[in-house]
Amino acid sequence: MDTCRIPENASKCSGNTMECFMVLSTQAQKISIGILCGLFGTMCVFENSLVLYLIFSSPGIRKKPSYLFIGSLALADILASIIFVCSFVNFHVFNEAGFSKEVFLLQLGGVNTSFSASLSSLLLTALDRYISISRPSEYKLLMTRKRAWTALGALWVACATIAYLPLLGWNCCVLDSACSELFPFVDDNYLSGWICFIMVLLGCIVYAYAHVLWRARQHVAYMEKHQAQVGKQSTRMRMDVTLAKTLVMVLAILTLCWSPVLGLMIYSIFARLSERLRKVFAFCSTLCLLNSMVNPIIYALRSKELFSSLRRVCSHFRRKLKASEESPEAESTHKSSMIET
């Protein structure tokens, strides 16, 4: 087992650095975390898998850059759910600490990559709406499929690079520096940098949406004044306004779910965390799964294209189910008629 400097408030665990971070002390707490992770994780994987299927099974939808970014968000949420639930439950519920520093940092890097890519995909979606509303006449020239795929590739590479810096050597064991009170082997300076990265992403998203909402409000006022004359442009504006409102709801939920986690991370850098606050952090971490679970529900309720695609899939499934139920009856009728003959 790798050893390095541990948090001062966990000095009683000096025999095993990993055990210092297993803060769930009662069976009830472990069962609660297990239920929350199992419920949120399962629903998140199912819902986001459905979103990916709806996007890439429809040629008309998957060609649009907007839905490529939403597909990236869904993929990131699926990976985050799987990696987070497996590693989090294994560590906090089953208290598995027999793996090496490298394996732990590999798991942590996977979780950070997925959640960072989720947030970054939301930023690209916000920028897509920003361009669509601020420069509608040039939108198709500026936001092509090739540029969308290039942006997504750069996004995932950047998120993975930043997330795996601790595994590559920026950790408190290699640097012999103070470790974070919330994550084993993670250097406090790295945690500060990662928080700044997330805050920059959030700041860019807020700026983009502030502009989107301002332009959307102008569009609504324009439509009310010239409703009889706008024609096709009116329909386009309504779509932009609807999608903007949808993504603002996503951002609001994202902020509510991530604020407690980020707040405790920032607090841990400047002050010592009590045992109670570290337990609160463990439970607040499950809110990230809740955010990933709620996003697809908002798309299904607010996006007419995705909702129409979902209705087509459900109708097709019902027809197949009805056909399979009628098939044995038809076969039985055919057999009985043969016997009578």
Quick: pLDDT tens for 31-52: 988 898 889 999 999 999 999 9
Radius of gyration of the chain (CA): 25
- Angular region, 2: left φ>0, alpha ψ -120 to 50, beta rest: beta
> Could you tell me the pTM of the whole model?
0.82
Determine the straight-line distance between the first and last CA of the chain, rounded to whole angstroms. 79
- 325, pLDDT greater than 50: yes
Mean pLDDT across 175-181: 82
Instruction: Identify the structural domains of the chain with CATH numbers, from first to last.
Output: 23-227+242-306 (1.20.1070.10)
What residues form DSSP beta bridges with 179?
187
Q: What is the pLDDT of residues 248-290, one digit of tens each?
A: 777 788 788 888 999 999 998 888 888 888 888 988 888 888 8
- 331, pLDDT greater than 50: no
What residues form DSSP beta bridges with 111?
none
Q: At what angle do helices 275-284 and 286-302 cross, to 10 degrees?
A: 30
Name the range with the highest mean pLDDT among 18-27, 69-78, 176-185, 312-321: 69-78
pLDDT at residue 306, rounded to an integer? 83
Q: Closest Cα partner for 173 from 162, 185, 165?
A: 185
Mean pLDDT across 78-87: 91
Name the pLDDT band for 184 (thresholds 50, 70, 90): confident
Q: Closest Cα partner for 125 from 73, 185, 202, 164?
A: 73
- 104, pLDDT greater than 70: yes
Q: What is the pLDDT of residues 122-142, one digit of tens each?
A: 889 888 888 888 788 888 888
pLDDT at residue 334, rounded to an integer? 46
pLDDT at residue 151, rounded to an integer? 93
| Percent of the chain's residues with pLDDT above 90 | 21
